[in-house]
A and B are shown apart, each in its own frame.
Chain A
Amino acid sequence: MDMLLELDHISKIYGDLHAVDDLNLTVPQGEWLAIVGSSGSGKTTLMNMIGCMDTPSKGSVKLEGRKLEDLNAGQLADVRKNMIGLVFQKFYLVPHLTAVENVMVAQYYHSVVDEKQALEALDRVGLKDRAHHLPSQLSGGEQQRVCIARALINDPKLILADEPTGNLDEKNEKIVLDLFRQLHEQGTTIIVVTHDALVASCAEREIMLNHGVLVGEKWNDSDAQEAYEAAGGRPASTGAQVEGAQTGETAIGFADPTKAAKTGGEEVAE
């Protein structure tokens, strides 16, 4: 199995604070991974490093075997626009552009603008009829779907979603998760940062961070786990020597991500 993403002992250090502490993680092509943890646990910092928007203080990030630390700002921007689709909790749509124009912005910076293709992307998320509405004229769920359409438009290999359902009601949450499910079925690698147990449980695999340290990992899809392990994939681990850290080859499971984020995780007997 090809590893799309390889994190090798990466740390992000701000003064004395280790936002991410010595994390090892491999993510194969087509995996749906959820990163859970409480606020300040380093989820978003980790996501920024994976998304080429931040660089680790230590360690190495490889995307499709390419070391990101060797790339300059322009090359990182190229990796971002060619390989990664970003979905944000607060949507971050350009307020003065319509839904279709917001999708076309991603095309504009990627390659060539194609309005028809942008409309198809909106159609895919069920928003063709709202294509010419401004974000202010759309509901939160609709805005998030525009955000997803924008993330999909350039056929990225990796979708990075930061709390994609954080601002949505249950109905829209379901729509968004269904969209992720479709993308996953089509082979797109998805990494979702979330607080939500339901959202996390939709992923094949979950890892949990606490104060920047990996404290747990569990698989929600045993087939995917077997395939991963068969391909030589190893559990995530950390080199941080703190209590509760998942330092070895054995995964530390957790039952409920929200609860576990608060309690620090629990050992799972294999």
Chain B
Amino acid sequence: MTNTGMFFRMLFSAVFRRRSRAMMAVVASLVGAATLFCLAMICIAVPQQMNEEMRAYGANLIVTPTSSTTSGDKAGIDSAMVDHTTEMVAAKGSEKHATYRYENVRVNAAPYVMAGVDAAQVKNLNHHWVVDGSWPSDGKVLIGRDIADAIGLKVGSRITIGYRASDNSSSSTSGSTSQSGNDGSTSDADNGSGNTTSSAPSAEGAVGQSPTGGASEGSASSASGTSNSQSSSGQPMQDGRVSSDIMDTSGTEFRVAGIVDTGGSEDSIIYATNADVDKLTGVTRGVDVIEYSAGANDLNALVQSINDMTSMHVKAQQVTKITASDTRIITMLQTLFWIVSLVVLVLTLVGVGTTISSIVSQRRNEIGLRKALGASSSAIGVEFYVESAMYGLIGGLIGTAVGYGLAQWLCVAVFERSIGFNWGLGVASVLLAALVAVVASIPPVHRATRIDPAVVLREE
């Protein structure tokens, strides 16, 4: 056997033949490692989870056509541009999105806003929407709670929706190209000024209920055919008044698939499939708004990058209300967890230090004997430091596993989702446990190596 072999033989003997005492040191390291690893996992998992939870409450980024696009032929954002924009957002992190095409329609001659959507996209983006019935499908629409109450509609009722090109002339929709649908104000990413923009073409039946909750020049001018601008758009005049078409109730009949209740502007909109809107209007065009729930860390930079691409003819804006509250809560949580982790680290150091100190004190005679046999202080120091590191490694390994189990259990219990094992954090946790054990053992080992070997012979 070599001296190295003897070193490890002594080490393993100290650890495995002194189980009860070794157990104390291992348990001290285990508790520390488990608590720290659990907290660290939660520190990482909670912000991710919070981010996802917050993003389930709607979009944090909206993209609308620039005025140059909307003022012309109202082509909207074509599908290629939707894909391109989505790629840009996806490049910065996870994303969910939904597109909206807005049209002014008439129900019983009264003006309303109709949105052509992909039901799956909207459902995926807005988990907070409460839908009584089902989402829109071909021939079936989803109507807002306010509309249902006003008209007296229920799930399964029939509704006749009319479309008039005059209601949707460019002048009537020029300023109504953006929609947040989030009850959140939007702001220009450039300056964060908080300028609000209207979300959709306002409708007479929904006066003062611009979907964004904000007023703009667009919403005022976008009211349907009752405004002066409407009369100038070529509507027939009669006796000095706009020719009333109040009796015109013609249109396409749809069935009410469901009623949506969000408590927000969505309650004043009729949602139909894109195909139904195309069929109703007889025009196939691009969308007016793309809503994103973007997972990008720096949303400002993402907005800036989209806006810098002027050739795309789209404008991106943050939904500041969602983003700011999201960031604030996550920052608070992270700060709280890191402070707790720091406290636990200090407590672990004290706990492990006390335990190791106790173990070393119990071995004063052995240390004295080794010195009497000719061992140098450094040789004894190395033996004890390696032994402490071993306690830390064993405790760290078991503690990390326990900490992961604890973190997993907490996440399942609180967030109803499991978390994957973070290998980097796991390795760091084990190494930290070993390091803490070694650092904690420095003072007692330093004291022990200064033991006068004569103490073991001083007992007469």
Contact = CB atoms under 8 A, between A and B. Distances in A.
Interface of A: 39-40, 43-44, 47-48, 51, 53-54, 73-74, 77-78, 80-82, 86, 88-90, 92, 94-97, 101, 104-110, 112-115, 134, 150, 162-163
A130 B10 CA distance: 19
B14 A96 contact: yes
A82 B379 CA distance: 17
Contact of B454 (A48, A81, A101): A48
Given A53-B452, A110-B374, A92 B369 contact: yes
B373 A81 contact: yes
Contact of A44 (B366, B369, B376, B460): B460
A53 B9 contact: no
Nearest to A47: B457
24 contacts: A44-B459, A44-B460, A48-B457, A48-B458, A51-B457, A53-B453, A53-B457, A77-B374, A81-B373, A82-B374, A88-B456, A92-B456, A96-B13, A96-B17, A104-B6, A105-B6, A105-B10, A106-B373, A108-B3, A108-B6, A108-B7, A113-B1, A115-B1, A134-B17
Interface residues of B, number: 32
B370 interface: yes
B9 A101 contact: yes
Contacts of A48: 454, 457-458
A51 B371 CA distance: 12
B373 A96 contact: no
Nearest to A91: B369
Contacts of A86: 372-373, 457
B457 A44 contact: yes
Contacts of B9: 101
A107 B6 CA distance: 10
B193 interface: no
Given A88-B457, A109-B379, A113-B5, 11 more contacts: A44-B459, A48-B457, A54-B454, A77-B375, A86-B457, A94-B10, A97-B10, A101-B9, A106-B373, A108-B10, A134-B17
A48 B13 CA distance: 30
Interface of B: 1-3, 5-7, 9-10, 13-14, 17-18, 365-366, 369-377, 379, 452-454, 456-460
A223 to B, nearest CB: 32
Given A39-B460, A90-B459, A78 B1 contact: no
A96 B18 contact: yes
Contacts of A105: 6, 10, 370, 373
Interface class of chain B by DSSP: helix
A78 B17 CA distance: 30
A95 B369 CA distance: 12
A265 B277 CA distance: 125
A162 B379 CA distance: 26
A44 B452 CA distance: 14
B11 to A, nearest CB: 10
B433 to A, nearest CB: 23
Contact of A77 (B13, B369, B371, B457): B371
Contact of A53 (B2, B365, B375, B454): B454
Contacts of A95: 18, 366
Contacts of A51: 372, 457
A74 B460 contact: no
Contacts of B369: 92, 94
A44 B3 contact: no
A43 B365 CA distance: 20
A73 B13 CA distance: 28
B374 A78 contact: yes
4 closest A-B pairs by CB? A81-B374, A96-B17, A53-B454, A48-B454
A118 to B, nearest CB: 9
Nearest to B13: A96
